[in-house]
Amino acid sequence: MKIFVGSLVGAVIIFMFQFLSWQALGLHYPAQQYTSKQDSILAYLNTQFDSDGGYIMPSLPKGASMDDMSKLGKERENKPWVQIYYHKNLDTNMGVNMAKNFVTNFIMVLFFCWILSGYASNNFAKTLIVALLVGLIIFLHSSYTEHIWYETFDLKAHLADYLISWGITGVWLGWWLNRRKV
């Protein structure tokens, strides 16, 4: 029961910080900027793509040789490039997406609590430090690794997301999982 409640509250903490980061504080705006040309760009892209997909341009067809890739890289160095995630239809069902996100957060914190429960000796500081390390591991494996290759525009926001949300979750779990029964 202790792990379940800890995971539930931890999922709420992470979920709420995600809302603050993406919506209320707008930390991720640099990766979601507005252009007044969006209607004409979308209309043009809709004539170019037949289905959903991710594209990097310039690129080469699948199976291109290393020589061709090297040649393209040299030709395009210091020139514009673009990464597009194209979707034929916008799914605006926020309820389903929010539910999926919350369940994912719950499972993630549940796994974390299960790992902590295996420690022979645990305390507030250890829980907090391990939570911060988990946040850092997630950042390094996902956002930073993507940034290395694709120069994302909200890298600092992702770092804040993971360290702050996991830090607050670590404070909560450090207290909750290590409190004395009365």
Confidence of residue 37 (pLDDT cuts 50, 70, 90): very high
Kindly state the percentage of the chain with pLDDT values over 70: 99
63, with CB counted inside 10 A (0-12, 13-18, 19+), is: exposed
The pLDDT score that the predictor gives to residue 34 is: 93
Confidence of residue 181 (pLDDT cuts 50, 70, 90): low
pLDDT tens per residue, range 11-29: 999 999 999 999 999 999 9
Confidence of residue 49 (pLDDT cuts 50, 70, 90): very high
Separation of alpha carbons 171 and 135, rounded Å: 13
| Token representation of residue 83 | 């990464």
The pLDDT score that the predictor gives to residue 118 is: 86
Separation of alpha carbons 72 and 59, rounded Å: 8
Report the pLDDT averaged over residues 1-5. 91
The pLDDT score that the predictor gives to residue 6 is: 95
Chain centroid to CA 128: 21
pTM of the model: 0.85
Separation of alpha carbons 5 and 176, rounded Å: 9
pLDDT tens per residue, range 159-171: 999 999 999 999 9
The pLDDT score that the predictor gives to residue 182 is: 47
Question: Of 12, 17, 13, whose CA–CA distance to 161 is shortest?
Answer: 17
Angular region, 61: left φ>0, alpha ψ -120 to 50, beta rest: beta
Q: What is the Rg, in whole angstroms, of the alpha carbon atoms belonging to the chain?
A: 21
Question: Of 54, 61, 58, whose CA–CA distance to 87 is shortest?
Answer: 54
DSSP secondary-structure letter at 29?
G
What is the residue extent of each domain of the chain?
2-39+90-176
